[in-house]
Amino acid sequence: MSSHTVIETFAGAGGLALGLEEAGLHTTLLIENDSDCVATLRLNRPDWNVISEDIQSVDLAGYKADVVSGGFPCQAFSHAGKKLGFEDTRGTMFFEYARCVKEVKPKICLAENVEGLVRHDKGRTLRTILRVLESFGYILQYEVLNAINYSVPQKRKRLFIVGTRDGIHFGFPPTCMYALTLRDALQGVPQSEGAKYSKKKKDVLSLVPPGGSWVDLPPEVQKEYMGKSYYSGGGRRGMARRLSWDEPCLTLTTSPFQKFTERCHPSETRPFTVREYARIQTFPDSWKFVGSLGSRYRQIGNAVPVRLARAVGESIVKSLEGKYVSFF
């Protein structure tokens, strides 16, 4: 068992924690408020210490760990006339993540979020986050990583923020030489439950070739299926989208059949099943998900791809073991 320990906030269904575990880190505490996610974590890792509470009610004073991690929900911050400090983030979930970092005082803090956080409020939100963590004594780096570059068969960009104590050096993981495709991902995937299309939607999507979308439909079908969207500008390419076996998957959403982010199976006219979703997010087949069908899709769709988390985790282990050298 690794001597490097992690406390994770907003643990979800365990994608980040599992990846960090595979990298050699030992999770000592996870905090998660969603009952289905908690049940998933406890089913797969009965030895994990999972606190099933609202993080706002969890007192972390006295806990110690080498790493504090978490993908806090992104909420808008108010900046007008504020100093952009720790207290100015109160009322946001970032405040709770930051409070955990402040109380635990880890050697490294790791935060994960949507790519759009870089641009949110013209960059002010991210600057606030960095300023708060810097005020605790951390040296911050951030980078948007695309999961496709880390042995994940999916185009999925996520923002990672890493803070290190003085004397600890960190470098983001190197990218892979090649990308995995859906064919690589779904070979031998176990059968499982999955959502189904309505007859009307199935009739439409059956006309779309692999790798195609609404532009491949007959004009009269386009107009009927797309409604007002047919006359709008950009942002429509995801409609009636069928994926290709020979390309990576597009970013999975929390539902397999959202109209504007369609993810139709390459050769069958249906959404991906639960286990196919999990494969694309690089969860092992042994990792089970608890809850309704919709809840399981949501848990998987919200997760950090396991192999992406592992790659970041391996860099964190190198940092903790002094394998990075600073040239500055």
- Residues tagged active-site: 74
CB atoms within 10 A of CB 321: 11
Strands 157-164 and 108-114, bridge-based pairing: antiparallel
Residue 205 is classified by DSSP as H
Dist. CA 281–CA 274, nearest whole Å: 11
Q: Quick check: 123 and 79 in contact, CB under 8 A?
A: no
Q: Which of 12, 25, 197 is nearest to 107 (CA)?
A: 25
| Distance of alpha carbon 13 from alpha carbon 300, whole angstroms | 7
Q: Do residues 85 and 139 lie in contact, with contact meaning Cβ atoms separated by under 8 Å?
A: no
> What are the Cα distances from residue 140, in Å, to 110, 111, 126?
10, 11, 11
Q: What is the 8-class DSSP label of residue 62?
A: T
Q: Which residues contact 57 (CB under 8 A, 6 or more apart)?
A: none
Q: Which residue has the tokens 């970013």?
A: 251
